A and B are shown apart, each in its own frame.
Chain A
């Protein structure tokens, strides 16, 4: 074995800066995609449980369509497929303003929205039907019943599986390197290329992902306890 470890490549030269930028981009694309995914997930998850068939069908169509096509294909779709459909001026503007970032964000958000909606739907389905009946029996509309009662209860119940799905989203943001988004994995490889120190670069990348995931899990556990429904025992310490 003649491999010479040289950990200092990680902070000498441009490496440190690249890795930091990678972290910032990963957090930005994942954060925005997460907001999109949760929003779409609530809408589609709720739509699939309402007592109105057309809305249920629309929700099912969205979920099955986006969930069953690989994320990589969606990345290509939003990056290579969608811009040519836009007016010339918008295209030019986009390509001067990180088109790849926005394409990656949409792909990630819409894909994980479909998966998140399954989590939210199962949360809604675990609420006894009579809660919905009690809501509308007081004169709330179906929309109000969902907004004020059903969705708030469901969200409190699904924090653990939603955490899981959020971590998947964060990890999947690395797929965006295929459309040249300079996120963490992209920058890790750049460090590797410039320094020829693969193990050091990949170790750094791995540890950063680990820290991000553990931090998110910790935050979500706190959120779960903070919003726990009295009488239901929150998991975790």
Chain B
């Protein structure tokens, strides 16, 4: 598809002889927010980790912002500056303050001056609504605050795409919304987002499309209203009944 930000073309991946992705075809246009859901072990994490090259794949091609990841010679560090990622376990660097976490890559990779980077970082901390935590160490923040710093840290590189792998799964329930709110803002600003999540409320409100995976395949993709009102496959029905019942 011309103009896609991310395009999977028949991507297959194996861990040893265990196939975890099978013939994935999926195109995501700039500004689109796609929620990926499916049962545990269905390959959701593997799918989005392919987009920034954390997982290599063996067959097919994946074109990200015009770069084909299957072709030899694609420079991963350069690509990754344009694709931000937020992990389930936050992964802030524990020996650095919040400010140092956010300014590290802009200074070391983009070559910004410390002053410029700090200015951007402070703006981002306002955006994720924790302007007063710049000097704190990660250990002194709540989970929700840490995850918002992780989002700010990824945004500091001014990425064109943001990947989220279960960003709220490790959070206490009362902190989930503060993170989802930041993600909602981001979506409204037009960020291209791929979000693995079981937060179906978020999917309903924010996603443009829901992708349902099972056993390494994309089983269903639809607009959220359609997906939640009438999932086509039995596996999706089964999955939704389990996830919405609690």
Contact = CB atoms under 8 A, between A and B. Distances in A.
B93 A131 contact: yes
Contact of A230 (B52, B137, B153): B137
Contact of B95 (A133, A139, A140, A153): A153
Helix, strand, loop or mixed for chain A's interface?
helix
Contact of A139 (B54, B77, B92): B77
20 contacts: A128-B89, A131-B91, A134-B87, A134-B92, A134-B93, A134-B150, A137-B54, A138-B154, A139-B77, A139-B80, A139-B81, A139-B105, A139-B109, A148-B108, A153-B95, A229-B95, A230-B138, A230-B139, A231-B138, A232-B139
Interface of A: 128, 130-131, 133-141, 144, 148-149, 152-153, 156, 229-232
Contacts of B76: 136
A148 B104 contact: yes
Contacts of B104: 138, 140, 148
B157 A138 contact: yes
B100 to A, nearest CB: 10
Contacts, number: 77
Interface in B70-89: 76-78, 80-81, 83-85, 87, 89
B201 interface: no
Nearest to A149: B93
Contacts of B109: 138-140, 144
Contact of B93 (A136, A141, A153): A153
Contacts of B137: 229-231
B133 to A, nearest CB: 13
A221 B109 CA distance: 35
Contacts of B3: none
Contacts of A148: 104, 108
Contacts of B150: 134
Nearest to A155: B95
Contacts of B52: 137
Interface in B46-82: 52, 54, 76-78, 80-81
A228 to B, nearest CB: 9
Given A134-B91, A139-B81, A149-B93, 19 more contacts: A134-B87, A134-B92, A134-B93, A136-B54, A137-B83, A137-B84, A137-B154, A138-B80, A138-B109, A138-B154, A139-B80, A140-B108, A148-B104, A152-B95, A153-B95, A230-B95, A231-B139, A231-B140, A232-B139
Contact of A138 (B81, B139, B140): B81
A158 B109 CA distance: 28
Contacts of A232: 94, 139
- Most interface-central of B77, B95, B153 (chain A CB within 10 A): B95
A152 to B, nearest CB: 6
